[in-house]
Chains A and B, each alone.
Chain A
Amino acid sequence: MSRTVLEHEEEEANRLLNQWLHGNDFVVVGKSVARVDGLDKVLGKLKYMEDYFSKDMLFARIVKSEVSSAYLEKVDFTKAATIQGFVDGITAKDVTGQNQVGYFLLDQPAFADGVIRFRGEPVGLALAKTPEAAEEASRLVRLEHREKAAVFDPLEAIKSSVLVHEERKSNVAFTTKVRKGDAEKGFQESDVVVENTYRTGYQDHAPIEPEGAIAIPTPEGITVISCNQHPAFAQMIVARVLGCQQREVRTVQSAMGGSFGGKGEIGPTLSAQAAVAAHKLKKPVMLMYSREDSIASRPKREPSIIRYRTGATSDGRLKAIEADITLESGAYVTAGPIILLRATLHASGPYIVPHARVDGRLVYTNKVSIGAFRGFGNPEIHLAAESNLDELALKIAMDPVEIRLKNALTEGSATVTSQVLSDPVGLIETTKKVAKESGWYTKRKAYGKAVGDRARGIGVACAWHGVSTSGNAPDWSSGYIIIRNDGSVDSYSGLVEMGQGLTTTITQVVAEALGIEAGMVTVHMGTSDAPDAGATHASRGASVGTMGMLVAASQLRRRLDRMASKMLGCPEDQVVIRRGFAFHRRFKERKILWGDLVHECYNSGVELSATGYYFVPKERFDEEKGSGFAYPAFSYMTVVVEVEVDLKTGMVFVKRVWPGLAAGTIINPSVVVGQVRGAVIQGLGYALMEEVQTQNGKVLNQNFTDYLIPTVRDTPRIMKLVTVEEPWKDGPFGAKGMGELSLVAIAPAIANAVRHATGMRPKEFPLTPERVSNLLNEGETS
């Protein structure tokens, strides 16, 4: 094929993409197609990590440091070796490549080498023939080290001469900023100003399945079965640590028992740790983290300290915001810099703010690291922004819904980074709908009074969340589809199913694009064998992550249209392929079966496999100036929450939640509702109870007895999801992302409802009964 033909084909494919974007008569898209993995899940047939264990494998447990900061001199396995079934000990010395698993910066070893930077840091592996022996042996490993000063408080760490990474000059690992207009001028022009400092803590992802990896030496190199969120990235990390080429490493996924961002960094780390052992011993090795390993050692949601100032005119028009964000990174940055960047770029909340000054810093301490977690910096910055906005509304006696409607972003608005929104927003409509559904105005008047020891409250919060990676980070996806000669379809994507339902969503996209039923399509994901579609993170999976696949489908659809036009004897633009039949748009009597159409292609030299690629167009964010393009699009959410507070004990009962969503086209409503429900519960946990507690760097609650996640009894009634669907050009059929967004507004809405019920403003999270009780006993309103 000549270049021009290729170009022509691409153009035609783009025409199709555009048609689909504005289509409204879909067969599969927009329908609650049953989860393709649903039945196997219910029947217990899906194979999770542990299901791959076999007796010929060696079992490994990590050896964790028991001090927070030290120079590591020796890892002694002598005593561990006395355990029956013990095979070998692995340390940094066994790493044949680069001992480096850093995500954003190269600051993190696979196994501590020379320096221990947090208590719980992996210094090696204990390998044995059975899990019990590995566990026992791992506890008997003796570490020889010299104590080194440690720093545990992020505010102290900023100024401290005790450095977590001695080769760096400061514990401040990364800084960010946003500037718009003149913040001082904005505050001078404000009639009311609210300033508060908010604190949030570590949240553990608490996936029901802890982390694991199996490394199997093969004639080609090594195959690693693991749970991660980006097979190509895991492949790169394993290759780096082994010191081999990426082609020698193959990564595949087991079914995943939850991730929520958490296995994005740790998955590749475990893959590399297991691979080092398998490579040395020339045997398959299974490494599993225990729950205690997982809570003590694996990255978590970032603790934050945010000083936030909001100014507005007396009629409720926002004039300026100022935010000073300190995120605690723990011992390593992992994704910390981009978590901080995301928080910074969203600091205003989804509102028009003429003047802004936002500064962020990420600070090392000798504690367990932070990492990606659903929301990625946005939950804490929204807690600050949305809490302040309610306080502002109270000061000028304005209704919280009204102040949000008055300042909400719309199409054409300039955001806090001065990016002009070129796509529909839908926030105002969503907010109005949610207010109506929840009976907002009536309840807001009726609640907020104590009845005996109880008081009810109702609160609202809005959120926005940029789709795709932040700022200037390039974003692309690819996919590969092959139509087999019996008409069935295999498609391959490097995206990952982690319980969110992405396999089903991609199945629907491919089926709709080709004109067949979803049952004809299999989507293969989670392996480095598939085309790299980027990471399944940043709320991009069902959105830009699937665009490459859609481009592939559009190319095949073009070829099928052309073949059908020949067979039907009609112009190409009159061909319809739908539910597995090809026919003339108007003369529908004559139908060609899908199978016959495919056969004809095979018999007449038309290729029925295609690779698609999509590179997301982005403009530039100027990091020096702190302004410019932040994200190709944003999704928006409004949530109303009703709570009841026991004014004596401080216990908060979340009674009902009304979610509203504007996230482009919804490809599978039941998958989206599932995401929202999960996010409400996880957001409730973040707001009320989930907190990894530490004392001098030691994690105190390393199990589910004391690390609390919500139970079904804590779960409120989650009302019908209200949606505003306006298609977005860079998402398949117009879909944006919503998996993270749906968590972001929950905690702020709960906080605002608690404020309404009690008259006191919560500023420290989570809102345990003790914190709320203390607030009601000693606290003051802002």
Chain B
Amino acid sequence: MTAVQYVSFDQLAPALDYVKDRTERFRFIAGGTDLVVQMRSGKTTAESLVDISRVGELRGIHEAKDCVIIGALSTIEDIRRSPLVERRFPALKEAADVFAAWQVRNLATLGGNVCNASPAADTALPLLVYRAKLIAFLGIHQREIPIEGFFRGPGKTCLEAGELVGQIILPMEASGGSAFLKLGKRQASILAVVNVAAYVGTKGGVVTEARLALGSVAPTPVRASKAEEFLVGKPAVDKNFTQAAALVDEDIKPITDVRAGAKYRVRMAKTLAFRALRLASARARRSSA
């Protein structure tokens, strides 16, 4: 790991101002649980690090009128321990539960996990099915990015140089149910072979809304739109979940790597999609009952 320049801020505006005129290669750093590892291995190079981990205004989980606003610097452990998240966005809580290990969860931030843009990112999937919006800052400008179009490839996002995700907004859901499932090669502290989040809304036993997102099966976390379309208007029964799950291969494109083979990943994407849809649907019934 090469020696780097380091500067730290405890407020957002000066940090944004500082990076405006940088000519060297710089990176924002928060928890560093991805970045430091990548720098040590030589996968990422940066000449300077801009530490925003102490920017208090970007940490915290707040309930607003029709949404919940999560500061991007909230740690995964913050998410995990938030009763609000547990009540309103259980799939995000479940993703935080199986995210790395305790020490990492204490450092890693939600914004960092999203911006690192790993195809396997655990929290990206619940954010996809909850249709999160990212509030990004660039200098004095601010914009809202729907998470759908945010990921562009492994480690790639639509952010511009110097742009920073400051908040993640989760719109309040109606009475639907949601779930997150992860398969790895051991029970904890593991990168996913396949991970899945699902949101299912039902009315009178019929699916009114279905959202399904899968990880580790494409260059980015993906929505399985064919499966979603299939389910809407159909009875929320196992047979339909099986058929919907079978359609996920239209939207995924897994590779073979050190963690698993592509064929196995396709099979597991279907298995986990089925289980997640079924679980989300059962929860939807429970919450509407």
- Which residues of A are at the interface with B, using a C-beta cutoff of 8 A? 132, 135-136, 648-649, 651, 653, 688-689, 693, 700-701, 705-706, 708, 710-714, 768-770, 773-774, 777
In the complex, which residues of chain A have a beta carbon less than 8 angstroms from the beta carbon of B37?
705
Q: Are A649 and B268 in contact (CB under 8 A)?
A: yes
In the complex, which residues of chain B have a beta carbon less than 8 angstroms from the beta carbon of A136?
2
Nearest CB of A to B28, in Å: 23
In the complex, which residues of chain A have a beta carbon less than 8 angstroms from the beta carbon of B188?
711-714
* Apart from the given pairs A136-B2, A688-B186, A708-B185, 19 other A-B contacts in the complex at a CB distance below 8 Å: A132-B1, A132-B3, A649-B271, A653-B187, A689-B185, A693-B258, A701-B258, A705-B37, A705-B191, A708-B186, A708-B190, A711-B186, A711-B187, A711-B188, A711-B189, A713-B187, A714-B187, A770-B264, A773-B268
Q: How many residues of B contact A (CB 8 A)?
A: 23
CB<8 Å pairs between A and B, sample of 21: A132-B3, A648-B271, A649-B272, A651-B183, A653-B187, A689-B186, A693-B258, A700-B258, A701-B258, A705-B37, A705-B191, A706-B259, A708-B185, A711-B187, A713-B186, A713-B188, A768-B185, A770-B260, A770-B264, A773-B267, A773-B268
In the complex, which residues of chain B have a beta carbon less than 8 angstroms from the beta carbon of A713?
186-189
Q: Are A769 and B258 in contact (CB under 8 A)?
A: no
Say whether B147 faces chain A, with CB atoms less than 8 Å apart: no
Q: How far does the alpha carbon of A298 sit from the alpha carbon of B268 in the complex, in Å?
A: 35
Say whether B115 faces chain A, with CB atoms less than 8 Å apart: no
Say whether B110 faces chain A, with CB atoms less than 8 Å apart: no
In the complex, which residues of chain A have a beta carbon less than 8 angstroms from the beta carbon of B183?
649, 651, 769
Say whether B14 faces chain A, with CB atoms less than 8 Å apart: no
Say whether B261 faces chain A, with CB atoms less than 8 Å apart: yes
Nearest CB of A to B46, in Å: 16
In the complex, which residues of chain B have a beta carbon less than 8 angstroms from the beta carbon of A688?
186
Within 8 A of A (CB), among B169-195: 183, 185-191, 193
Q: How far does the alpha carbon of A136 sit from the alpha carbon of B42 in the complex, in Å?
A: 11
In the complex, which residues of chain A have a beta carbon less than 8 angstroms from the beta carbon of B259?
706
The contact string, 1 if C-beta is below 8 Å from chain A, for chain B 60-102, is 0000000000000000000000000000000000000000010
The contact string, 1 if C-beta is below 8 Å from chain A, for chain B 262-282, is 001001100110000000000
- Which residues of B are at the interface with A, using a C-beta cutoff of 8 A? 1-3, 37, 101, 183, 185-191, 193, 258-261, 264, 267-268, 271-272
Nearest to B191 among chain A residues (CB) is A705
A714 CB contact (under 8 Å) in B1, B186, B267, B272: B186
Query: Can you list the 9 inter-chain pairs with the closest CB atoms, starting with the nearest?
Result: A713-B187, A713-B188, A711-B188, A770-B264, A648-B271, A700-B258, A714-B187, A706-B258, A714-B186
Q: How far does the alpha carbon of A710 sit from the alpha carbon of B264 in the complex, in Å?
A: 22
Nearest to B190 among chain A residues (CB) is A708
In the complex, which residues of chain A have a beta carbon less than 8 angstroms from the beta carbon of B191?
705-706
Nearest to B272 among chain A residues (CB) is A649
In the complex, which residues of chain A have a beta carbon less than 8 angstroms from the beta carbon of B185?
689, 708, 768-769
Q: How far does the alpha carbon of A712 sit from the alpha carbon of B183 in the complex, in Å?
A: 17
Q: Are B186 and A710 in contact (CB under 8 A)?
A: yes
In the complex, which residues of chain B have a beta carbon less than 8 angstroms from the beta carbon of A651?
183
Q: How far does the alpha carbon of A455 sit from the alpha carbon of B268 in the complex, in Å?
A: 18
In the complex, which residues of chain A have a beta carbon less than 8 angstroms from the beta carbon of B1?
132, 135
In the complex, which residues of chain A have a beta carbon less than 8 angstroms from the beta carbon of B187?
653, 711, 713-714
In the complex, which residues of chain B have a beta carbon less than 8 angstroms from the beta carbon of A700?
258
Q: How far does the alpha carbon of A198 sit from the alpha carbon of B101 in the complex, in Å?
A: 34
Nearest CB of B to A647, in Å: 10
Q: How far does the alpha carbon of A710 sit from the alpha carbon of B185 in the complex, in Å?
A: 10
Nearest to A774 among chain B residues (CB) is B264
Nearest CB of A to B97, in Å: 11
In the complex, which residues of chain A have a beta carbon less than 8 angstroms from the beta carbon of B2?
136
A773 CB contact (under 8 Å) in B186, B190, B264: B264
Q: How far does the alpha carbon of A708 sit from the alpha carbon of B190 in the complex, in Å?
A: 9
Nearest to B270 among chain A residues (CB) is A648
Q: How far does the alpha carbon of A705 sit from the alpha carbon of B186 in the complex, in Å?
A: 11
Nearest CB of A to B216, in Å: 13
Q: How far does the alpha carbon of A769 sit from the alpha carbon of B190 in the complex, in Å?
A: 13
In the complex, which residues of chain B have a beta carbon less than 8 angstroms from the beta carbon of A714?
186-188
In the complex, which residues of chain B have a beta carbon less than 8 angstroms from the beta carbon of A649?
183, 268, 271-272
In the complex, which residues of chain A have a beta carbon less than 8 angstroms from the beta carbon of B260?
770
Q: How far does the alpha carbon of A693 sit from the alpha carbon of B185 in the complex, in Å?
A: 14
Nearest to A710 among chain B residues (CB) is B186
Nearest to A703 among chain B residues (CB) is B41
